[in-house]
Amino acid sequence: MRQQVTKRPFRAILLAAVLSMAGFQAGAEDDQRTAVTLPGDVAADFLAEMRTHLANLDDMVAALAADDFKAAARVAEMHMTFGHRRWKRMAESGASDQEIAAAKQRFKQMRESGSARPGRGMGMGMGRGFGRFMPDDFRAMGAAFHEAAESFATAAKAASSPPSPKDYKAVLDALGTVTAACRGCHDAFRIEVAK
């Protein structure tokens, strides 16, 4: 009797270990994500950009925790919205916030009027970017991500100073839409390096 009692926990642990190993293997085999095949250097650039996204997200959360909603909006605008590479380049070459805002406004109008065809931005398939390697669904998820970042920036800029509980809620909701876009794409796609 006594022996059985002491044996059981060990068995349970062994079983759990065996199951989790089996589970791990099954997980790798039944990976439902769509593989996107990229040349090695493109894959490296893509993953580096992904790590930057995580760093930017971290900066946004830190800015919100410091009640600096404007700073959080700025990170999203410069690094996550449509055309983010262009805004960053402008900032690096000394353009003012107003100049960048004006360029963003023009770009937005072009997009909305349809004169900026899908295919112009890096994520949308422009020449040297990784967009041209991506399937349409992937690009659509990328677009949803940029859209969510845009909405986050709008919500964060609209917050009063100091932010009210309502502002916090609106901004957290918008941040949740951004992270849901990260998660949605990660659930759907994986990268494979071309041989």
**Using CB under 6 A as the criterion, which residues of the chain lie in contact with ligand HEC when the complex forms?**
47, 50-51, 53-54, 57, 138, 141-142, 145, 178, 181-182, 185-186, 189-191
Residue 150 CB, nearest approach to ligand HEC (Å): 13
The H-assigned helical ranges of the chain are 2-29, 40-65, 69-79, 84-92, 97-113, 136-158, 165-188
Least distance in angstroms from the C-beta of 120 to ligand HEC: 17
For residue 3, how many C-alpha atoms fall within 13 Å in the half-sphere facing its CB?
Answer: 0
**What is the C-alpha to C-alpha distance for residues 41 and 18, in angstroms, rounded to an integer?**
38
Alpha-carbon dihedral 173, 177, 183, 185, rounded to 10 degrees: 180
Smallest distance, ligand HEC to C-beta of residue 68, A: 19
Comparing CB distances to ligand HEC, the nearer of 8 and 33 is 33
Within 13 Å and on the Cβ side, how many CA atoms surround 8? 5
Q: Nearer Cβ to ligand HEC, position 7 or 33?
A: 33
Q: Is the dihedral of CA 128, 134, 136, 140 positive or negative?
A: negative
Q: Is the dihedral of CA 160, 162, 165, 168 positive or negative?
A: positive
- Nearer Cβ to ligand HEC (28/98): 28
The smaller minimum CB distance to ligand HEC, of residues 18 and 119, is found at 119
Q: Closest distance between ligand HEC and the C-beta of residue 141, in Å? A: 4
Q: Which residue has the tokens 């100073």?
A: 161
**Least gap, CB of 58 to ligand HEC (angstroms):** 9
Q: Looking at beta carbons only, is 174 or 178 nearer to ligand HEC? A: 178
